[in-house]
């Protein structure tokens, strides 16, 4: 009996990515997130009222976060600073990324920046996005 499997190039890329993270992870644990993908990770949910974007940003001060909306694109910027009073040589291991980050995501719907709202609590940035009036879904009645 012969079994054939289909070659999946994306599966090979994920395998290579995991191997690279393993090889270079101990050498530069703070930069491991660069090998794993974009930062911060983002969840998008949609409902009739609009779109909610959630991004975990633990250890980031609210004052360093910035969110901008242009057209159908949202950008999150921030900075995680080192703990004050802890010298670099005191760390045995440091895996949390430090420094500035930026993530831009295209939503696909034209957005209304005047109606966007953002909140930050418990290390989670939540951005509520409203579709622009011309991008909102419209119900079309059917006539015979």
**pTM, full prediction:** 0.68
Give the pLDDT of residue 103: 92
Q: What is the pLDDT of residues 70-119, one digit of tens each?
A: 999 999 999 998 888 888 888 888 777 788 899 999 998 899 999 999 99
Instruction: For the chain, list the domains and their CATH numbers.
Output: 9-37 (no CATH), 39-83+97-135 (2.60.40.790)
DSSP character string of 37-102:
-SSS--EEEEETTEEEEEEE-TT--GGG-EEEEETTEEEEEEEEPPPTT--GGG-S---S--EEEE
Confidence tier at 4 by pLDDT (50, 70, 90): low
């Amino acid at each position: 009996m012969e079994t054939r499997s289909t070659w999946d190039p994306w599966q090979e890329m994920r395998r290579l990515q995991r191997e690279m993270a393993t090889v270079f992870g101990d050498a530069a644990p703070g930069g491991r997130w660069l090998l794993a993908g974009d930062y911060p990770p983002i969840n998008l949910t949609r409902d009739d009222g609009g779109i909610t974007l959630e991004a975990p940003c633990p250890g980031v001060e609210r004052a360093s976060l910035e969110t901008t909306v242009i057209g159908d694109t949202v950008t999150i910027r921030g900075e995680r600073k080192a703990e004050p009073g802890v010298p670099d040589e005191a760390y045995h291991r440091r895996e949390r990324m430090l420094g500035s980050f930026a993530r831009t995501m295209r939503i696909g719907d034209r957005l209304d920046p005047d109606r966007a709202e953002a909140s930050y609590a418990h290390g989670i940035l939540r951005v509520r996005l409203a579709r622009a009036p011309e991008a909102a879904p419209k119900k079309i009645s059917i006539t015979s």
